[in-house]
Amino acid sequence: MRVLGIETTCDETAAAIVSVERSGEVKILSNEVLSQIAAHAAFGGVVPEIAARAHVEAIDRVVERAFETAGMKPGDIDAVAAAAGPGLVGGVMVGLTTAKAIALVTGRPFIAINHLEAHALTARLTDDLAFPYLLLLVSGGHTQLLAVRGVGDYLKLGGTIDDAVGEAFDKIAKMLGLPYPGGPSVEKEALKGDPERFDFPRPMQGRPNPDFSLSGLKTAVRLVAERIAPLSDRDVADLCASFQAAVVDVLVDRTRAGLRVCNAAGISPSTLVVAGGVAANQPIRRGLTRLATEAGLPMVAPPLPLCGDNGAMIAWAGIERLRLGMVDDMSALARPRWPLTELRPQDAAPATTSAAE
């Protein structure tokens, strides 16, 4: 089974081909990602119109490169999957239209993928995990705790009531004059700083409901930065280190609450999983690993190239759905908002072709 996956929800134009061999071995045959960071850096964030135009200009050659790297032609694939949302709708439409065209020309099934589900299932691509597992999904636009009970079956335990974690990192970086994207910049500066110099708040810590809040922490950093301005290089490093330490504490505490709620609901997770772009942050990984050890669970995070947006995760989600006969027709729409909890396995149309064909 070989599936082409296309991802264009934000500022990466990506295409990949993932296969499942008859032996059951999973192989990423190609995984091409073209980043738009340079195009958006001057604005300190993603500009939707610029992103959509860049996707239009790049999509054909990125898909072509994915086939070339895999040593395949379009007729060799068994299905085409594309992220249909949530995301910037202009970009989503580019990938969705391209995938539908390839599916029509090749006569292969088309699968509309929820971008968040692709992140949620990436751990099964890399580690072959059993359901259910507890997922901390952290990215530029999303911060959620979910019980992943199956493909299309997600129980939301908690989420952010204001800023997403990645958004908070980006805003702190911009506030301190650091390069975009903010997450890697703050993490790099934090390595040189003292995480105990500033005692920033840990919002929502200790509360039984596993929700998140980052807005107050972000404000606390701004107030301190304004008070001690002008900032030296040491000040910036210490602010980043102290902010990051607070974020790690918050995520660990909120995930611990999520584990309690999960168990109270009668769900015994096999694994603690962190996914999404912010999952690349090493202190966050270490904090969650300590929590998982405390809870007697393994902790899984995707390899760094699969944390950010990529086509391989879309292709894998397509494989997961194709196995269950969950394919879509050409009426599938681009969706700027698409909660994971709206997905249901029984909502899928019957497959028009078997996985073995």
Q: Tell me, rounded to whole angstroms, the distance of Cα 43 from its chain centroid.
A: 22
> 170 among the known binding-site residues?
yes
Q: What is the CA radius of gyration of the chain?
A: 20
> 114 among the known binding-site residues?
no
Query: Rounded to an integer, what distance in angstroms lies between the CA atom of residue 169 and that of residue 246?
Result: 12
Cβ neighbour number for residue 182 with a 10 Å cutoff: 24
Bridging pattern class, strands 299-300 and 272-275: parallel
Cβ neighbour number for residue 89 with a 10 Å cutoff: 17
- Residue pair 305/7 in contact (Cβ under 8 Å)? The answer is no
> 115 among the known binding-site residues?
yes
> Tokens for 140?
């530029």
Residues 6+ apart with CB under 8 A from 137: 116, 119, 120, 143, 144, 145, 146, 274, 275, 276
Residue 130, burial from CB neighbour count under 10 angstroms (0-12, 13-18, 19+)? exposed
- Residue pair 324/17 in contact (Cβ under 8 Å)? The answer is no
> 187 among the known binding-site residues?
yes
Residues 6+ apart with CB under 8 A from 131: 148, 149, 150, 270
> 281 among the known binding-site residues?
yes
> 139 among the known binding-site residues?
yes
Query: Rounded to an integer, what distance in angstroms lies between the CA atom of residue 170 and that of residue 322?
Result: 36
> 138 among the known binding-site residues?
yes
> 183 among the known binding-site residues?
yes
Query: Rounded to an integer, what distance in angstroms lies between the CA atom of residue 234 and that of residue 81?
Result: 47
- Residue pair 143/222 in contact (Cβ under 8 Å)? The answer is no
CA angle 206, 208, 210 (to 5 degrees): 95
Query: Rounded to an integer, what distance in angstroms lies between the CA atom of residue 244 and that of residue 236?
Result: 12
> 127 among the known binding-site residues?
no
**Positive/negative CA dihedral, 59, 64, 66, 67:** positive
Binding residues for substrate: 137-141, 170, 183, 187, 281
Binding residues: 115, 119, 137-141, 170, 183, 187, 281, 309
Binding residues for Fe cation: 115, 119, 309
